[in-house]
Amino acid sequence: MTPHQLERYERHLALPEIGVAGQEKLLASSVLVVGAGGLGSPASIYLAAAGVGRIGLVDADRVDRSNLQRQILHEDASVGRLKTASGADTLRRINPEVVVEEHPVRLVGANAGAIVQRYDLVVNGVDNFPTRYLLNDVCVWLGKPLVDASILRFEAQATVYLPGQGCYRCLFPQPPPPGLVPSCAEGGILGALAGTLGAPQAVEAVKTLLGVGRPLSDRLLLYDALGGGWRSLRRARDPDCPVCGHTPSILEPVDYEHFCGLKEESMVKEVLPVEAHKLLEGNPAIQFVDVREPWEYEKVHAAGVKLIPLGEVPDRVGELDKNRPVLCICAKGGRSMKACDFLLSQGFSDVTNVAEGTKGWVEQGLPTGG
Number of residues binding to Zn ion, judged by CB under 5 A: 5
SS3 148: strand
E runs forming strands in 183-295: 219-224, 229-234, 269-271, 287-290
Q: Is 305 exposed, middle or buried (0-12, 13-18, 19+ CB in 10 A)?
A: buried
- Is residue 167 involved in binding Zn ion (CB under 5 A)? yes
Nearer to Zn ion, 169 or 292 (CB): 169
Shortest distance in whole angstroms from residue 206 CB to Zn ion: 24
Q: What share of the chain is helix, strand, coil (3-state, %, to 5)?
A: 40, 20, 40
Selection from 113, 147, 293 nearest residue 216 by Cα = 147
Selection from 248, 259, 107, 250 nearest residue 164 by Cα = 248
- Is residue 170 involved in binding Zn ion (CB under 5 A)? yes
Shortest distance in whole angstroms from residue 246 CB to Zn ion: 11
From the list 7-15, 20-28, 85-93, 163-171, the region that binds Zn ion by CB under 5 A is 163-171
Instruction: Report the C-alpha gap between 315 and 179 in whole angstroms.
Output: 12
Q: Which of residues 289-328 bind Zn ion (CB under 5 A)?
A: none
Q: Say which amino acid occupies 84.
A: T
Residue 32: CB atoms within 10 Å: 27
Nearer to Zn ion, 25 or 169 (CB): 169
From the list 68-76, 210-218, 238-246, 358-366, the region that binds Zn ion by CB under 5 A is 238-246
Nearer to Zn ion, 115 or 170 (CB): 170
**For residue 243, how far is the Cα from the chain centroid?**
21
Q: Are the CB atoms for 136 and 51 separated by under 8 Å?
A: no
Instruction: Report the C-alpha gap between 367 and 355 in whole angstroms.
Output: 17
Instruction: Report the C-alpha gap between 71 and 36 in whole angstroms.
Output: 8
Nearer to Zn ion, 243 or 310 (CB): 243
Shortest distance in whole angstroms from residue 108 CB to Zn ion: 21
Name beta bridge partners: 82.
62
From the list 41-49, 63-71, 150-158, 161-169, the region that binds Zn ion by CB under 5 A is 161-169
Shortest distance in whole angstroms from residue 169 CB to Zn ion: 4
Instruction: Report the C-alpha gap between 187 and 219 in whole angstroms.
Output: 26
Q: Which residues are catalytic?
A: 184, 330
Q: Among 50, 146, 244, 329, which residue sits at the site for Zn ion (rule: CB under 5 A)?
A: 244
| Helical packing angle, 193-210 and 40-50, nearest 10° | 40
User: Which residue has its beta carbon closest to Zn ion?
Assistant: 241
Shortest distance in whole angstroms from residue 69 CB to Zn ion: 34
Shortest distance in whole angstroms from residue 119 CB to Zn ion: 21
Q: Are the CB atoms for 45 and 93 separated by under 8 Å?
A: no
From the list 34-42, 113-121, 166-174, 200-208, the region that binds Zn ion by CB under 5 A is 166-174
Q: Which of residues 136-155 bind Zn ion (CB under 5 A)?
A: none
Shortest distance in whole angstroms from residue 166 CB to Zn ion: 5
Nearer to Zn ion, 89 or 238 (CB): 238
Instruction: Report the C-alpha gap between 370 and 366 in whole angstroms.
Output: 13
- Is residue 169 involved in binding Zn ion (CB under 5 A)? yes
Nearer to Zn ion, 170 or 354 (CB): 170
Q: Among 100, 194, 241, 286, which residue sits at the site for Zn ion (rule: CB under 5 A)?
A: 241
From the list 69-77, 167-175, 254-262, 270-278, the region that binds Zn ion by CB under 5 A is 167-175
In the complex, which residues of this chain contact Zn ion (CB under 5 A)? 167, 169-170, 241, 244
